[in-house]
Structure 1
Amino acid sequence: MQDNVEWAEVTDSSWTTKFHREEDDLRIRFTGPCPRCEHLTSTDVPRLIPGTPVLRGEVEEFTMFCGCGHPHPNHPDGDNSCGAYWLFEAEL
């Protein structure tokens, strides 16, 4: 893990991530290491497509954000992450 990674709102198209998938009736949770700071992070995606009664079931690309909970150097007030975000594709 990289505790000394300074906070920055950045992305990199070369980042690859491997996340564990858990789901229940309401959400799908992806958990794994942030590709930038390597701390454990997770993202929840609702099982229903927002605004509809339709359950997801297609492969979709969406943006994930580091939510590691670590106060990286120079982070904005209230943001305990490294600031990274990236595209992720999964069957939802």
Structure 2
Amino acid sequence: ISLSIISEFLIIYGYPAQAMMDEAAEIGNTLYCHCDWYVPNTKPLSKYILMMLTRSQIPVIISAEGFFNINNATVVLLMKRTYSFYALLQTLN
């Protein structure tokens, strides 16, 4: 039962959380590469673009009520610990 719960956590929470963090990390790159912030015609917008670039440098972290961060590394660690606990229980039987 616990392996199915871990698999559910992996599919429902782990991958979407990691995908959201990856997309949020790409916002700064997209702004820098695809916005013409250096063109003189965009001078009124350049301060807003600079503000968005600055804010995009702060990493997005998705946590489970502050206990731990939800990302691929956490999911893999959880799978390893679950399997280790399962193997321990099998050796005790």
Give TM class, smaller chain. Answer: under 0.3
Structure with the bigger percentage of strand? 1
When normalised by structure 2's length, the TM-score is 0.20
Structure with the bigger percentage of helix? 2
When normalised by structure 1's length, the TM-score is 0.20
Larger radius of gyration: 2
